[in-house]
Amino acid sequence: MEQVEADGLRKTYGETVAVDGVSFSVDAGEVFALVGPNGAGKTTLVRCLTGTARPADGEARLLGTSPEQTDEARVSLLPQEFTPPERLTPDELIGYYASLYPDDETRDTDALVDEMGLSDAVDTRYGDLSGGQKSRLKVAVSLVNDPDVIFLDEPTTGIDPEGREDVWRVVERLADEGTAVFLTTHYMREVERLADRVALIDDGKLVEVGKTDDVIRKHAGEPRLVVRTVGSAEEAIEGFDATVEGDELVFEGVGVDGIGDALDALDGAGVGYDEVRWREPGLEEAYLHLTGEV
């Protein structure tokens, strides 16, 4: 079932068109990622969908109704700018947010604290937590009401890799349990790991929406084998379908199966090399192509 829908959504601030005719939908159990450059319109789009940037033109629907009429207890929003009071501890903060909802509609808060890796810090004041602990606590707070739809606006910014992994596991579990997750992020690895579908917004418009794998296949370009030659790359290139970049030979379009043959051919031609790199392009490359940055 479609939990979030945008149909021709448009939001202006004076002369600025922050969101410009955006349409898409997010299903239950789906992780939908929104990516785009700074100022592209991501936060504004989240605000239109959650009813905090109104009025907007076009239509936004949340759990089948307008954002203003949606049952708030079934929705959660973790905004970028959420800053809890410095003096509250995780225990107090989570307890406070849990108290805003009926008991049977909240998660087990001890389990939540544990899952977010905060058990050792439950009594530490927010102001004394590390940056990563603060971010994980904010995600934990956004989960207390066990929402059917959750909007996470850059939830892992400033978190170390281990803490990010904790957040990712929670997001995966949420989606497995049927929650619709709307995620904005600047980390393409996060999207590759979590998102069923990705939308790229640039200058207020959706430039691409699709399954993450399809978007990568369509826009990321070819894999590259890069070989650093011992002698001159200019001389070594003779007879090879490659290009020279500095002291390296670059073979475009060589898949993982082709690496052995390419190196055998170099060996056969007596070309020495001391470093070989191969990379399958991912969402990062697709993003850069789509935003015209390469």
Ligand X SMILES: Nc1ncnc2c1ncn2[C@@H]1O[C@H](COP(=O)(O)OP(=O)(O)OP(=O)(O)O)[C@@H](O)[C@H]1O
Binding site residues, ligand X, CB under 6 A: 13, 16, 18, 36, 38-44
* Residue (43 or 106) nearer to ligand X, CB: 43
| Least Cβ distance, residue 43 to ligand X (angstroms) | 3
| Least Cβ distance, residue 76 to ligand X (angstroms) | 18
* Residue (38 or 260) nearer to ligand X, CB: 38
| Least Cβ distance, residue 185 to ligand X (angstroms) | 9
- The answer to whether residues 236 and 229 touch, using CB atoms and an 8 Å cutoff, is yes
* Residue (186 or 218) nearer to ligand X, CB: 186
| Least Cβ distance, residue 153 to ligand X (angstroms) | 8
| Least Cβ distance, residue 191 to ligand X (angstroms) | 14
DSSP string, 240-281: SS-EEETTEEEEET--GGGHHHHHHHHHHTT--EEEEEEE--
- Paired tokens of 211: 């399954």
| Least Cβ distance, residue 147 to ligand X (angstroms) | 21
Please list, residue by residue across 261-292, b when 16 or more beta carbons sit within 10 angstroms of its beta carbon and e when fewer do: ebbeebeeeebebeeeebeebebebbbbbbbe
| Least Cβ distance, residue 80 to ligand X (angstroms) | 6
- The answer to whether residues 212 and 191 touch, using CB atoms and an 8 Å cutoff, is yes
CA nearest neighbour of 98 among 64, 40, 141 = 141
* Residue (257 or 293) nearer to ligand X, CB: 293
- The answer to whether residues 195 and 33 touch, using CB atoms and an 8 Å cutoff, is yes
Q: Give residue 126's identity as a one-letter amino acid code.
A: Y
CA nearest neighbour of 289 among 281, 80, 228 = 281
Question: What's the start-to-end Cα distance of the chain, in Å?
Answer: 38
Give the SS3 label for residue 1.
Answer: coil
* Residue (44 or 133) nearer to ligand X, CB: 44
**Is the bond leading into 55 cis (omega within 30 degrees of zero)?**
yes
**Which residue carries 């991912």 as its tokens?**
282
* Residue (33 or 266) nearer to ligand X, CB: 33
Task: Kindly report the backbone phi and psi dihedral angles of residue 149, in degrees, each rounded to the nearest multiple of 5, phi listed first.
Answer: -135, 130
* Residue (47 or 224) nearer to ligand X, CB: 47
